[in-house]
Structure 1
Amino acid sequence: MSNVRDITERLRRLSPDTIGHGSGGPPYNGDMEARVAKLESTAAEIRDRLTKIEVRLDTTATKEDLHREMSAQTWRLVTFVSSLGAALVAATFFIARSVH
């Protein structure tokens, strides 16, 4: 009980001119020109969409850009807080020396 069928007899019945050229059924039934034309028009639309996506990607920040900006912002914050702390310490020292 095998599901494998012997197709040698069927292959012998095929004429050599139909092998590789189709038998009139899809995709060889004359619809090919219309299908190719539709694919070509769709390809133009896809090309336009890809161009729009590429333009948008050129202006979009990458992961590396975001990392670089976050790092720069962090160091600015550290510098500001350190400077503020030093100024507060200096002010406290000045006030403590001035008041007897």
Structure 2
Amino acid sequence: METVWSLVIVILVVAAAGFIAWATDHHHDAYGIMLPVGAAVASACLTWIILVFAGTGYIAGLTWMPWVLPMAVGIAAAVCVPVLVGRRRTKRDVVALTEILRRS
């Protein structure tokens, strides 16, 4: 049961980081609010599952890994995924809008 609570805390931290990443991104109008949150939570959960199945939560000296590493991976995903998607989406929207305006 102790490991389940570590997952809950990791999810809460990375979800908050995802919301903060969305709020601070200049291109957040190009994608939905759940993109950074979803990317952060999915990557953190996958990392946590891999680390727990590897047994790092029960090895002396490595008990920090299922806590800190998923949070770091989730925060990195919350920052990187929206930056990439926001820039690409904005460029594609400009190209599509230009094409529509040329046809008119």
Classify the TM-score, shorter chain. Answer: 0.3 to 0.5
Structure number with greater Rg is 1
TM (norm. structure 1) is: 0.36
Give the helix-richer structure, 1 or 2.
2
**RCO greater where, 1 or 2, for CA within 8 Å and sep 6 or more?**
2
